[in-house]
Structure 1
């Protein structure tokens, strides 16, 4: 396996999972005819994804990135005190800062 310009010794087990120092870091999977891919159980466990959870899927250059969705503040990433403001998740702290800058009027907490 190559990462950057350095060769990393790894092995691929009989299920197509890449093992590096006994830690699963990736997998090789084919797409089915509908374009779906199964995420191996070990990878799901590594990012604590369970049945019913949502995943974010997006591109980063020529890569497809898949990660567990966490409804956090779009500005700071906080998941505490987050509310929807015009379709965007914003925490109370960032909303207050935006209000202070005159960008947003924040209703008082009830």
Structure 2
């Protein structure tokens, strides 16, 4: 990933503004959830995508009782219940 070369200042409340060109490029809209990750001394912003609580997969994830579970884990649980 190449740096975009955009500099923004942090305001009094700790906020930064993502430039419209970046929001458009990465399809980020007002109200979209953003995940904040830390790797070493880097802060990374990503569009939030739910992950399975069991295996961390982001494929075929569905919400169940305020938790996210993927289809593969659901199938595994179904197999355990039907033994």
TM-score (norm 2): 0.70
Unmatched 5+ residue regions in structure 1? 4-17, 19-24
Which gives a bigger RCO, structure 1 or 2 (Cα 8 Å, sep 6+)?
Answer: 2
Alpha-carbon distance between aligned partners in 2 of 1:98 and 1:60, rounded to the nearest angstrom: 33
Which structure shows the bigger proportion of residues in helix conformation?
2
Shift of the 59–81 alpha-carbon distance from structure 1 to 2, 3 Å rule, reads: closer
Which structure shows the bigger proportion of residues in strand conformation?
1
Alpha-carbon distance between aligned partners in 2 of 1:66 and 1:51, rounded to the nearest angstrom: 15
Match of 2:16 in 1: 37
Alpha-carbon distance between aligned partners in 2 of 1:94 and 1:32, rounded to the nearest angstrom: 43
Q: How many residues align?
A: 79
TM-score (norm 1): 0.56
Shift of the 81–33 alpha-carbon distance from structure 1 to 2, 3 Å rule, reads: closer
Unmatched 5+ residue regions in structure 2? none
Q: Secondary structure at the match of 2:18?
A: coil
Alpha-carbon distance between aligned partners in 2 of 1:88 and 1:61, rounded to the nearest angstrom: 28
Q: Deviations over 1:37-76 (max 9, x none)?
A: 0011111112110112111112122111111112243532
Specify which of 52, 67, 77 is matched with residue 58 of structure 2.
77
Alpha-carbon distance between aligned partners in 2 of 1:37 and 1:71, rounded to the nearest angstrom: 24
